[in-house]
A and B are shown apart, each in its own frame.
Chain A
Amino acid sequence: MTRPLLYTSYKQDTALLDTRAKRLSVLVLLVAAAFVPLQVADDLLQLLAVGMVASIGAIGLNIVSGYAGQISLGHAFFLAIGAYTGAALSGDPDGKVLGFGVDFLPVWVLASGLVAAVAGVIVAPLATRLRGLYLAVVTLGLVFLGAHILKEWDALSGGPGVGRPAAVPALFGIRLDEPGTFTKEQKMFWLMLVLLVVFAVLARNLVRSRVGRAFVAVRDRDLAASAIGIDVGRTKLLAFAVSSFYAGVAGSLLYTVAGYMDPESFGLAMSIQYIAMVQIGGIATISGSIMGAMALTLLPRLTRELPAVLPFISTDTQEFPNVYQVDTALYGVLIIAFLIFEPRGMYGLWNRQRAYWKAWPFSY
């Protein structure tokens, strides 16, 4: 005899999926996702795969900004570190740019994450000394420094406007980015799905554990947190390390689907994009990060349809307003609108719907 929402132990309260409805819906969602590649066209699959990688990155930003409350405008910097570590490790040793030929996927994904995490640990002492907006501007500085390094280090990045091939995904000698029994997009989709599930579950486990509660305590009131015995400095350091690890992993995978990357893409615009994902999806929720990342990755695809509906929007980059400008402006508008009307993001919208129907027909 179990009653919904009656928790009799901490174990129930902190369970990964605390209701049967959640267990069922997650199962259905996963099974459905696994069969998506057999039904959906390749170009959409590619977009969805990129969306899942972006989700991993957004989860990372959500851990440091949403859970631990350290606003970071420097996420693009850590994504870049991951992207170039992965690309250099797996790259062609005889190519024009730096490469070591280690193309076994788990190796370079983990290495990218670790290198980015080390960078996060180096940056974190700043975070322990600085509060709030000072930190935001300092991390903004990181993005510019990173962009400068990438621009100058031609041997690694190929130089601005030229770029280099992204990391080469291979598992046990099978290249995932070349068509075989399944197309490239199908294989990449499954790969990203597996990785996203792994990293999402890991993140969910982290934030419901002692460490995750320490993050939240530091975010809500760091003085109070230190009074109950949380080492604030160490917690911030850990948050930065974990977040950068996720950013590194996401960065290394981000361009594997497209196969090519330009150093200029890792700019402030990318950091803002990830902040938008977290803000729009839902601050301090893992499922929200995934929703936000998916929504913002699919957004350009939707705006491409706009000129058919609103004829004054042009598809030509020379004209104003064109779809690319609409895209960028929409990020801004969505951030503002969500912050004003639903600060909890898409997760909040969903939560409100769920509460409404749960109490139906007695909902107010």
Chain B
Amino acid sequence: MRVISFAQPGFMLAGAVIVTYLSAEVGFWAAAVLSVLAVSLLALGVERVAIRPMVGRPVFAIAIITLGLDVVIRVVANGFIGLDVRQVGDPWKLDTVSVLGVEVQQRYLAMFAAALLMVAALFLFFRYTRFGLAMRAASFDQEAALAQGVSVSGVFAVSWAMAGGLAAVAGIMFGAGTSIDQNIWIIALKALPAIILGGLDSLAGAVAGGLAIGLFESLVSSYQSDHLPWLGENFATVSPYVLMLAVLLLRPYGLFGTREVERV
């Protein structure tokens, strides 16, 4: 629907927090599934209450409303985190496994697998299912999609639920092996430079952007203190934004975004 949801960090935080509460009761896997479902439901409810009335209004208004939503969700989620750090209770901890002679932490493999699985599933969903096609149609032209019998409101609802669920997965995976505190939403915000870098309307772009941002940040955090110390400590945390600025100056629609052509 050509809207950036600034509520994504909030959903991510919510997903992670729910797991920290449930995993002690029902185990990590069940907790993860329940948390994804719960956040999807939350996103669905949010869409119904706050986003649906905004249909037909400028995208700015919707973006600002998601900003407001993010603030509210985050306050509540942070309230449940409190001042202490919470454990996700994942099965990987900090165990390592040897892959082709390189010691790799299991949790990184799990994150990689989860990302691969999600991207593959999304790709297949958008490419081969009727509803995926309907979603692409609605994003392309709402009126034309309506005329072809696509339920645009249904599409919005499902896309919000999916976005919430995916954010929850991201939150859980981020918490794996480490702990969760009130600052992880800053990590979640880095998803924004990632999608902007890749181009707003491209799934492949989102993956490429995410990888580029992650790689760039790791490189900066490893080498910057030796080679460019004047940039200051922890420059790596803001480096995604620098990369985004640089790329956008050269390519205003991101790496894979379609250039908007205005018809008068």
Contacts and interface: CB of A to CB of B under 8 A. Distances in A.
Interface stretch (A123-131, A244-252, A257-265, A296-304): A123-131
A275 B244 CA distance: 23
Contacts of B69: 332, 336
B193 A141 contact: yes
Contacts of A325: 75, 78-79
A134 interface: yes
A136 B242 contact: no
B101 interface: no
Contacts of A148: 232, 234-235, 237-238
A332 B192 contact: no
Given A279-B64, A329-B72, A133 B4 contact: yes
A178 interface: no
A71 interface: yes
A145 B65 contact: no
Interface stretch (B26-34, B51-59, B135-143): B51-59
A335 B79 contact: no
A138 interface: yes
B92 to A, nearest CB: 30
Contact of B79 (A145, A320, A334): A320
Taking chain B's interface residues, is the majority helix, strand, or loop, or is none over half, making it mixed? helix
B2 to A, nearest CB: 8
A136 B245 contact: no
Contact of A137 (B50, B76, B192, B249): B192
Contact of B64 (A134, A141, A328, A335): A335
B235 A141 contact: no
A62 to B, nearest CB: 13
Interface in A317-336: 318, 320-321, 325, 328-329, 331-336
Nearest to B185: A268
Interface string B195-215: 010001000000000000000
Given A126-B248, A151-B232, A340 B50 contact: yes
B130 to A, nearest CB: 29
B147 interface: no
A148 B75 CA distance: 24
A138 B244 contact: yes
Contacts of A138: 196, 244-245, 248
B154 interface: no
Contacts of B149: none
Interface in B39-60: 50, 53-54, 57, 59-60
B9 to A, nearest CB: 10
B245 A343 contact: no
Contacts of B237: 144, 148
A17 interface: no
Contacts of A47: none
A201 interface: no
A152 B200 contact: no
Interface in A56-77: 69, 71
B248 A130 contact: yes
A328 B74 CA distance: 10
Interface string A209-230: 0000000000000010001000
A119 interface: no
Nearest to B67: A272
Interface string A134-171: 10111011101101110110000000000000000000
A131 B260 contact: yes
A335 to B, nearest CB: 3
Nearest to B262: A223
Nearest to A73: B67
A132 interface: yes
B200 A134 contact: yes
A148 to B, nearest CB: 4
A71 B4 CA distance: 13
Contacts of A279: 64
B60 A134 contact: no
Contacts of A149: 232
A308 interface: no
B221 to A, nearest CB: 13
Contact of B67 (A152, A321, A335, A343): A335
Nearest to A151: B232
A325 B82 CA distance: 11
Contacts of A343: 57, 61
Interface in A265-315: 268, 272, 275-276, 279
A24 interface: no
A26 interface: no
Contacts of B70: 332
B42 to A, nearest CB: 15
Contacts of B50: 336, 340
A110 B241 CA distance: 30
A137 B244 contact: yes
Given A223-B264, A275-B64, A318-B82, 9 more contacts: A129-B248, A130-B248, A133-B63, A137-B192, A141-B245, A145-B238, A152-B233, A279-B64, A329-B72
18 contacts: A126-B249, A129-B249, A131-B260, A140-B192, A141-B193, A141-B238, A141-B245, A144-B237, A144-B241, A148-B235, A151-B234, A152-B232, A268-B189, A318-B82, A325-B79, A335-B67, A336-B50, A340-B54
Interface of A: 69, 71, 126, 129-134, 136-138, 140-142, 144-145, 147-149, 151-152, 223, 227, 268, 272, 275-276, 279, 318, 320-321, 325, 328-329, 331-336, 339-340, 343
A-B CB proximity, top 3 nearest: A141-B241, A152-B232, A335-B68
